[in-house]
A and B are shown apart, each in its own frame.
Chain A
């Protein structure tokens, strides 16, 4: 059974860089899936951040594109998120999730437990 687990600092200073990793266990990251990051500010809804394929191909939410970088490490079976120049508005629970996408059909079928990241000095 495939599982996802986020890890990373829970506190980041304003203007700093948020870095999170998502470990894939029970299966291979090279399994013809897209791997994504979704965040949820406290008390608010879900926001898609970006996706990465095991080949390294990425797509990012247009409004975050200038600050986001995603990467994949096949040897460690994990993928990562970097969000630079963070502000308090980036405080959220960050989820990694597995995405199925095919010709405009998509769904997120597996989610990590989430990692709360607070941006504060």
Chain B
């Protein structure tokens, strides 16, 4: 089976940059997407196709994907960005996989 691994938590000060990684075998050869989930709410798509951003998502969210790692970057992190973040990719054997999830703490 195909697995996507994320750090359990990332801490960042307001206004600073948060970097969340997602690691999987040859992930750079696949397409990654990212989801934000606040407590008690449904996930929200923030990045798709590695780096594209839905129109309603702030520009401070950006993504990249190369080698074995996809990265979600939040520039100028705001307290409202505190949430769980999940990466996702498609694999021919496992089909749709989500990462283990990362809790972003804005301290």
Q: Contact residues of A with B, CB < 8 Å?
A: 36, 38, 45-48, 51, 59, 61-62, 95, 99-101, 104-109, 111-114
User: In the docked arrangement, what's the CA distance between A109 and B49, Å?
Assistant: 12
CB distance from A73 to the nearest CB of B (A): 23
15 residue pairs A–B, Cβ–Cβ below 8 Å: A38-B98, A45-B98, A45-B100, A46-B98, A46-B101, A51-B96, A61-B96, A100-B48, A104-B90, A104-B92, A106-B96, A107-B45, A111-B42, A111-B43, A114-B42
**13 more CB-based (< 8 A) A-B contacts, given A48-B98, A106-B96, A109-B54:** A45-B86, A46-B86, A46-B98, A48-B97, A51-B96, A95-B42, A104-B30, A104-B90, A105-B49, A106-B31, A107-B31, A107-B48, A108-B88
Chain B positions within 8 Å of A113 at CB level: 42
Inter-subunit contact A105/B90 (CB<8 Å): yes
Q: Give chain B's interface residues, CB within 8 Å of chain A.
A: 30-31, 33, 35, 42-45, 48-49, 54, 86, 88-90, 92, 94-101
Nearest-CB residue, chain B, relative to A46? B98
B45 touches A109 (CB 8 A): yes
Judged by DSSP, the binding face of B is strand
Q: How far is the CA of A59 from the CA of B96 in the complex (A)?
A: 10
- In the bound complex, residues from chain A placing their C-beta under 8 Å from that of B45 are 107-109
- Please give, as numbers and ranges, the residues of chain B lying within 8 Å of A95 by CB-CB distance: 42-43
Q: Which residues of A contact B35 (CB under 8 A)?
A: 46, 108
Whether A105 touches B101, Cβ cut-off 8 Å, given contacts A46-B43, A111-B42, A114-B42, is: no
